[in-house]
Each structure stands twice: as C-alpha cells, then as structure tokens.
A and B are shown apart, each in its own frame.
Chain A
Amino acid sequence: MDEMTIIFSAFLNGMGIVFTVPVFSAMMIGIVAGMIVGLIPGLGGLVAHILLIPFALQLGDPLAAIAMLLGVYAVTSQTDSIPAVMLGVPGTAAALATSLDGYPMAKRGEAGRALSASYFASIFGTLVATVIFILFLPLLRALVTKFSSPEFFMMVVLGLVMAASLSGRSQARGLLMAGLGLILSTVGQAPGTGDPRFIGPFLYLWEGVPIIPVLLGLFGVPEIIDLAARNRSIATSAPVKKVSGLWLGMVDCVKDWWLILRCSVIGVVTGFIPGLGGTVAEWMCYANAVASDKDKDSFGKGNVRGIIAPETGTAAHLPGAVIPTVAFGVPGNPPMAVLLGVFVILGVRPGQEMLTYKLDETFMMVNVITVGNIIAAALCLVFQKYLVKLCYVRASLMVPFILAAMVIGAGFSRLSLGDIAFFAGAGIAGYVFKHLDWPRVPLVMGLILGGIAEPYFFASIDRYGISWLYARPIVLVLEVMIIFMLFSTPIKAFAARLWKSGVRSEGSKHGDNT
C-alpha cells in the first residue's frame, strides 16, 4: 500500500476509535471536568489534567484513559478565554494575550464576536495542525525507522536538556532539577538486572518513586495553597452582559485564513520543541499578528486579530506537542510529560511502534484533541454565561473539595499510605520550588524520562559498546544539538560580559581623551 493510503486509513481508523462508546464517553468526562476544573480560579488545565489521572487509570481501558486525559488537555485552551474576554482576567498565563484585545472588544459590546473568534481560531488551529501532522508523517515515519536505542536515548537527553534550558530563568537550576528527577527515577528495580536500588527497608519503593502522588504534590498543592491564601475568586468585576456578534467571529477567522495558517505552523513548531509550551506559542503568534498588521496601534485596544493569532497558536501547539511524545518519547509540554508518565504506567511504549503498528492509536490521540476542541467550542458557545460564574466561586468553598480530591487521587496510585507520604513531601517541595523559581517541569520530566532512557542506555551499551557515541550520524547530530543547548546560554552571557567591558573601556578611553 502506498504511504499516504496507510496514513489516511489510520486516520479514519483513529477517528473510528474516538467514536467508540468507552473512548467517547471517557473523552466527554474529560471535556466536562476540564471545562469546570480548568475554569476554577488559579488552578488551570495542568492541575485538572493531573487530578483526573488516578480516576482515568481506574477505567481499566488504556485508550479510554488516554482519551479522558486528552479531553481535559484539549478544552483548557478554549475555556480560559471566557474569563479573559468577559472579565479581562486571564484564568491562565496562556490566555493573557487574548485578554489584551478580548476585554476591550467585550467592553465595546463585541464579547460574542471576540469569544467566537477565539473558539473558531482554536478549532482551525487544531485542524491545520492535524493536516500538518498528516503531511509530515511520511517523513517522520522514515526518520523514526532509522532510530535505534542510541538515537532514542540521545533524543531523551536532548528533550531533557531543552526542557531544562527553556523552562525557568536559570538554565543551571533547570539542569539540576532534571538531574534530581533522573536520580529519583533510578530508585527501585534496575531495568535489565532486576537489582533493587536505593530502596532501603521500604519495599514500597520496589516499583520506584510513584509518579502520580509526586505530580499531584508538585503541581496541584502549590496552586491550592496559593488559592487558599488569597481566599478570593479571580473575578472582581461584573462580567460583560451583552454577548453579541457570534457569527462575526467566525467570519473574521475565515477572512484571516493566512494569519491562521502562519500561527498554526508557529504553534506546531513550539509544541514540538520541549519546554516552550503554549504561552510561548501564544506570544509568538501575537507578535506575528502585530508585525504583519498595518494598523499596529489598534492592538491592545480591541483588534480581533489579536485574539485569532494567540488562540490559533495555543490550539495548534496541542497536537504539535503530541508528535514528539509518541514518536520519540520526548514530551513537548508539561501536560504531555504527565501523559508520558501515564503511558509508562499503562505500558504504552512511545517510539517506532506508535508510528507503524499502532498508528491508529496515535491518530486517535490527535483526533481526540481535534474533536474535543470542536465539542468544547460548541459547549462554550452554549454555556459561556454559566461557565463565567465559576470565576466567582469563593476559594474557601473550593479548596477543601479540591484538596480532598487530590488526597483521594494520590492514595489511588498504589493504594498505599506511602502514596500519601510522597504526596505530602512533593507538595511542600513543589511550593518551595514554585515560589523560588526552581522549575518543576524538568524535575517531572527527569523522573518520567529516566525510566524510559535507562533501558535504551543499557541496550546501546550492550549492542554497540561505546562506539554508538561517535559512529552513528544521527547520534552525532543530536550530540551537537545537546552541546549547543547546554553552552549557548553561558557563551551568550560571556559574550555579553565581554561586550559590556569593551564598551566600558572604550567609554573610559573616550572620557580620558576629552
């Protein structure tokens, strides 16, 4: 069969899986839960995503579990534009650009236009990203067949180094956190030999450090503590009442198809690069929209292109981040790192298989995001008036329930009190890390990727000795990229210091002469 026929048939099969009863119902639960938890002040999509994991794993069907989590993942970029437009308060950092133009439009009486532009931009963004994925799949499949254990190992290292370098303000801290995650990933049975490592007298640790309580603690607890400490809702002003011009928003999106296409490409690329995430995609697209517009002054005052561009970028980055996760086991963003952890628990192995024998399942994941986005847009259009009310819910009412859900979820990991102990430790650590700018994403990526990298490392040494480090072209290319990522920041800093000192000495010479 010809390559494109295989891909299209996998696409259709993947779509078929999405509409099977268990997968579709799980996806719908994910969408609804994502819409509600994602809108709760201060929590956002990642926490919603993590909160649902323990419950998704209890479903007993790996595809349904993945669909549920991807359902949450797909809707957050839709719902966060509701408070951004109606209240001028971005519920998440990723909706900040949308609020810049969305709220002025809403105040002008064009809330409906702004919201529908945001929903349709998201839909078009994911659709274009899916098409890009299909078009690049033959290339990706050809590339991945050239990959063996050494290449996969180096890809994981590259992913970690990129995430460590790009998340947070200090590369050294990112690397340290990634290293800490890697160290923790070695606790438990050694792959290949079965020897117990670093478990001491605790048999609980035989299976390694539990991922779910650590995720809940690191990402959920700090948000809950801050939410409780503020003890208020994100909304302080009344929402804009008049929601009109829904049709106009869609027309705007169709008219600005070229902007949507450009922003989709930006979104896919930023999704593909580990550590960048939706916020970077959003601002890059916003900057692109401003740069390409003749009326630059209208941005920030209610230009609809200022909504279309960031929403397209954030939506397109979602399927974009799935690609490296399933193809190379390198997550493109934090929710994908979490999903990779779920893959590990469910026994789903990213890599060549996902682009060959299991291509249907890969397409199911991409299609869940697209279908989820369309359903979420429809639900948002119908229920936006009610959804915005969630932004007014007091923290004092929410916090005990969310904390309770976290404790229950953490306890479901291995059904042991050890889970609760890890949850507590990770919660305290997460709070400290969050407020002192120690990035938590590289830590989680290290913890998850360590378990994937070590078998590749073993297999590489067993098959090729150490010759794989210098005798394989793809490994060499990846090594150059890793070295570049590692040393570009210190070199830039050194060059800047040299430049500054040069300018200073020039200045003092000039001063002496005069």
Chain B
Amino acid sequence: MAITPENNLQPVDRNQSIAFGRRVDWIVSMIILIIGIAFIIMLQSLPGRATIFPWFITISIVFITATYVYGKYRNKAVWDELYDPDTKDGDEMADTGPAFVLAHRRGVLISLGSFLLVVAMTMVLGPEYAVPLFVFGSLLARKENWILAVLSGIGLWVIIHFVFGDMMRINVPVGFLFGGFN
C-alpha cells in the first residue's frame, strides 16, 4: 500500500479530510464537555471535603470547552487550517493526521480490527491463551512461515504460563470463560 504524499492529495480528498477533522473535533469537544458535566452531577452526592479539587477542575474544564467550542464556531476558517493536510508537516514518523488516514484507510481498519480482536479474545480467554492464539493466527493471516507461527504461539504460551506464572509467580488474569471478573 503506497503512501500518498500529502501535497498530491486531490481537492476532494483535502475537503473530505477537513470535513472529517472538523466533525471529529466537534465530537471530541462534546465528549469532554459531557464528561465534565457528568462529573459535576456526580459530585452532588459526595461529601463536601472530597469535592473541592474535582469542583475546581470540572468547572475549569466546562469553561475552557465552552470557550473552545465558541471559538471554533466564530472562526471556522482558522480552525480548518488545523485539519488541512497541506498545512501539516510531511514528517511520516510523527503525527500525520487525516491525510494518512485517507491514504491507508483499508490498512488502518484491518489493524484496528486486529487490535479489537486481541482485546476481545483476552477478555474471553485471558492473556495466557488469547495472546499465543492471536500471534499464531496473525502470522498465518499475514502469510508468514507456518512453522514460525506455531513455534511463536507455543513459545509465548510457555513464557506466560511457566516464566510469568510459575517462576515469577505473577497471577496472570483469566478470561470470562474461566471465571474472570467473578
């Protein structure tokens, strides 16, 4: 999958990128505002002394978010510059912004999917079984050598079970299937 240089983006991609950034920015601001308000509501049921510091923070957060949202509404053009791929640094190894997302959409979705898969597997099976299975499956799916995949899976299980569990006596969490969270 080739990387699309940001200055080669089509105008439609650029506009799409700006619109996407603008939309997500609104959502993030609103989430922070809602968290601030929710914490203020939850503060009502707490004893006074425990609430002094959280009051100070939540009020500040609500104030700053409101100012930020108002500023965005008033100066749309200024804020749009932040989402414009053309105004971003072309540094590939740093935070690359929406242009990168557009150029790698498929790869990103697959990677996000694998990430969520390993999390879900860990919740159900616990790291001891989920992690070796995930590594084995991922290596096979990425068309790596199957012997390497099998050895990696077994090796990881040995490390988690014997090195962490038996030798270092770490109580590795177990998944729902084996009574985790009970």
> A186-B53, A400-B134 are known contacts. Are A179 and B61 too (CB-CB below 8 A)?
yes
B135 touches A404 (CB 8 A): yes
Nearest-CB residue, chain B, relative to A184: B35
B171 touches A432 (CB 8 A): no
Whether, in the assembled complex, A183 has its beta carbon less than 8 Å from a beta carbon of chain B, the answer is yes
Question: Which listed residue, A44, A180, A190, A221, touches B61 by the CB 8 Å rule?
Answer: A180
Question: Which listed residue, A93, A221, A432, touches B24 by the CB 8 Å rule?
Answer: A432
Interface membership of chain A positions 395-407, coded 1 if the CB is closer than 8 angstroms to chain B and 0 otherwise: 0110111011001
B82 touches A169 (CB 8 A): yes
> A173-B68, A417-B173, A438-B28 are known contacts. Are A224 and B1 too (CB-CB below 8 A)?
no
A450: B residues at CB distance < 8 A: 57
CA distance A94 to B160 in the complex (A): 35
B54: A residues at CB distance < 8 A: 183, 186, 197
B1 touches A230 (CB 8 A): yes
A461: B residues at CB distance < 8 A: 52
- 8 Å CB contacts to A: which residues of B131-145? 131, 134-135, 138-139, 142-144
CA distance A408 to B57 in the complex (A): 33
Whether, in the assembled complex, A415 has its beta carbon less than 8 Å from a beta carbon of chain B, the answer is yes
A183: B residues at CB distance < 8 A: 35-36, 39, 54, 57-58, 61
Interface membership of chain A positions 88-101, coded 1 if the CB is closer than 8 angstroms to chain B and 0 otherwise: 00111100100000
Number of interface residues of A (CB under 8 A): 69
Nearest-CB residue, chain A, relative to B22: A436
> A183-B61, A225-B115, A397-B144 are known contacts. Are A172 and B135 too (CB-CB below 8 A)?
no
Whether, in the assembled complex, A226 has its beta carbon less than 8 Å from a beta carbon of chain B, the answer is yes
A424 touches B160 (CB 8 A): no
> A224-B111, A457-B52 are known contacts. Are A411 and B127 too (CB-CB below 8 A)?
yes
For residue A355, give the distance in angstroms from its CB to the closest CB of chain B.
26
Interface membership of chain B positions 156-182, coded 1 if the CB is closer than 8 angstroms to chain A and 0 otherwise: 100010001000101111011000110
A435 touches B97 (CB 8 A): yes
For residue A245, give the distance in angstroms from its CB to the closest CB of chain B.
28
A437 touches B57 (CB 8 A): no
> A183-B57, A400-B135, A411-B173 are known contacts. Are A176 and B114 too (CB-CB below 8 A)?
no
B93 touches A431 (CB 8 A): no
Whether, in the assembled complex, A511 has its beta carbon less than 8 Å from a beta carbon of chain B, the answer is no
> A183-B58, A411-B122 are known contacts. Are A175 and B64 too (CB-CB below 8 A)?
yes
B35: A residues at CB distance < 8 A: 180, 183
A390: B residues at CB distance < 8 A: none
B1 touches A228 (CB 8 A): no
Nearest-CB residue, chain B, relative to A95: B93
CA distance A180 to B57 in the complex (A): 9
- 8 Å CB contacts to B: which residues of A455-511? 457-458, 461
Whether, in the assembled complex, B116 has its beta carbon less than 8 Å from a beta carbon of chain A, the answer is yes
CA distance A175 to B71 in the complex (A): 14
A90: B residues at CB distance < 8 A: 93
B143: A residues at CB distance < 8 A: 396
Whether, in the assembled complex, A42 has its beta carbon less than 8 Å from a beta carbon of chain B, the answer is yes
Question: Which listed residue, B42, B67, B114, B116, touches A228 by the CB 8 Å rule?
Answer: B114
> A172-B67, A193-B47, A404-B134 are known contacts. Are A93 and B91 too (CB-CB below 8 A)?
yes
CA distance A432 to B28 in the complex (A): 9
B68 touches A172 (CB 8 A): yes
Whether, in the assembled complex, A419 has its beta carbon less than 8 Å from a beta carbon of chain B, the answer is yes
A176 touches B108 (CB 8 A): no
B107 touches A195 (CB 8 A): no
Interface of B is mostly: helix
A195: B residues at CB distance < 8 A: 46-47, 49-50
For residue B98, give the distance in angstroms from its CB to the closest CB of chain A.
6
A96 touches B91 (CB 8 A): yes
B104 touches A424 (CB 8 A): no
Nearest-CB residue, chain B, relative to A92: B93
B131 touches A407 (CB 8 A): yes
A231 touches B107 (CB 8 A): yes
CA distance A461 to B53 in the complex (A): 11
CA distance A400 to B111 in the complex (A): 10
Nearest-CB residue, chain B, relative to A189: B50
> A176-B29, A176-B68, A432-B28 are known contacts. Are A400 and B138 too (CB-CB below 8 A)?
yes
For residue B90, give the distance in angstroms from its CB to the closest CB of chain A.
11
For residue A489, give the distance in angstroms from its CB to the closest CB of chain B.
12
Question: Which listed residue, A228, A404, A421, touches B107 by the CB 8 Å rule?
Answer: A228
CA distance A229 to B101 in the complex (A): 9
A415 touches B112 (CB 8 A): no
For residue A400, give the distance in angstroms from its CB to the closest CB of chain B.
4
B138: A residues at CB distance < 8 A: 399-400, 403
Nearest-CB residue, chain B, relative to A227: B111
Whether, in the assembled complex, A252 has its beta carbon less than 8 Å from a beta carbon of chain B, the answer is no
B39: A residues at CB distance < 8 A: 183, 186, 198
B3 touches A230 (CB 8 A): yes
For residue A384, give the distance in angstroms from its CB to the closest CB of chain B.
20
CA distance A160 to B168 in the complex (A): 37
For residue B81, give the distance in angstroms from its CB to the closest CB of chain A.
9
CA distance A435 to B88 in the complex (A): 11
B172 touches A435 (CB 8 A): no
Residues of A with Cβ closer than 8 Å to B?
Answer: 42, 44, 58, 90-93, 96, 169-170, 172-173, 175-176, 179-180, 182-183, 186, 190, 192-193, 195, 197-198, 221, 224-226, 228-231, 234, 396-397, 399-401, 403-404, 407-408, 411-412, 415-417, 419-421, 423-424, 427-428, 431-438, 450, 453-454, 457-458, 461
Q: List 27 A–B pairs whose Cβ atoms lie within 8 Å, in order of A's numbering.
A: A93-B94, A96-B91, A176-B29, A176-B61, A179-B57, A179-B61, A180-B61, A186-B53, A193-B47, A193-B50, A225-B111, A226-B100, A226-B111, A229-B111, A401-B152, A403-B118, A407-B119, A415-B170, A416-B181, A417-B123, A421-B123, A428-B112, A432-B24, A435-B100, A436-B25, A450-B57, A458-B52
Closest A-B pairs by Cβ, 9 of them: A229-B107, A190-B50, A400-B138, A228-B111, A396-B142, A179-B61, A195-B50, A424-B119, A225-B111
